[in-house]
Amino acid sequence: MTTRRPLVIGNWKMNLDFVEALHLVQQLGVLMKNRPVEHTDVVVAAPFVDLRSVSSIIDSERFAIGLCAQHVNAQENGPHTGEISTSMLTRLNVEWVLVGHSERRVHYFMSDEIVADTLRSVVRAGQHAVLCVGEELSVRENGEHEAFVAAQLESALHGLDEKFHALLTVAYEPLWAIGTGVNATVEQVHEMTAHLRKVLRSMSFSAPQVLYGGSVNTENAATLVRESDVDGFLVGGASLKAESFYAILQACDDCYAIKR
């Protein structure tokens, strides 16, 4: 028995050209119209340059798809060449933002402090923040993964006003599972989601939504959602084809219907 509603986010990263992006959202929307996904919220994280056009298609076709940005700058405006602010995203109908994806943390030097500032800026703009946490393989091998992700949560969320709590989703994405084809086992995902929920509850988050990400595909999605306690997925590679992403949505939706 569960009351939390699942969420699946497709993270397109820096893939697809403009035409491919529009084609993908169109195909996905049609699949969802033909056989609706009833219990699961569906969101796509498109590159900045595609957001306006993807949003127009979603609006005009009335697709039940939410729009997410992959990153945002914590500042409101000013001399930040190449950056985008939350108010710019609001004007593009973006309701979700990934915060602190490991690719941003590792390759673009996003420190814990910048993650915390960005998260605050996102929720203050009224957008849903998807806080990504996860450990490197060496951290897990040393048995320090639980402490590591707890510290990531604490540094990002410490002191966050309770009025913003409902806007938070946490995505557990172990770095060793992202884009590698090696996904975490059901036991590892189950253990970590339970741990994350415990830490979040100790910080007074009442019903934290926790996703898993890392090589989720059409084969493992159903097992992960059925046998662990995740509320859905952050999907990279398998979100780039409408059919595979839709199959993940269906797997999530079917399992949720059984679990209720």
| Interface with ligand PGA (CB under 6 A) | 11, 173, 178-179, 213-216, 234-238
Given a contact cutoff of 8 angstroms between Cβ atoms, the answer to whether 164 and 126 are in contact is: no
> Which is nearer to ligand PGA, 36 or 179 (by Cβ)?
179
Given a contact cutoff of 8 angstroms between Cβ atoms, the answer to whether 112 and 156 are in contact is: yes
Distance CA 34, CA 48 (A): 28
> Which is nearer to ligand PGA, 31 or 235 (by Cβ)?
235
- In this structure, what token pair is assigned to residue 68? 């997410």
> Which is nearer to ligand PGA, 242 or 260 (by Cβ)?
242
Strand partners, 133: 172
| CB of 234 vs ligand PGA, minimal distance in Å | 4
- In this structure, what token pair is assigned to residue 102? 């490991």
> Which is nearer to ligand PGA, 2 or 233 (by Cβ)?
233
Residue type, 236: G
Which helix (H) or strand (E) segment holds residue 69: the answer is strand 66-69
| CB of 240 vs ligand PGA, minimal distance in Å | 9
| CB of 27 vs ligand PGA, minimal distance in Å | 19
DSSP assignments along 245-257, one per residue: HHHHHHHHHHHHH
Neighbours of 188 (CB within 10 A): 18
Quote the Cα angle for 78-81-85, to 5°.
55
The residue number with the shortest CB distance to ligand PGA is 236
If you count DSSP H runs as helices and E runs as strands, how many of each does the chain have, helices first?
Answer: 10, 8
> Which is nearer to ligand PGA, 163 or 237 (by Cβ)?
237
| CB of 204 vs ligand PGA, minimal distance in Å | 27
| CB of 71 vs ligand PGA, minimal distance in Å | 12
Catalytically active residues, by annotation: 101, 173
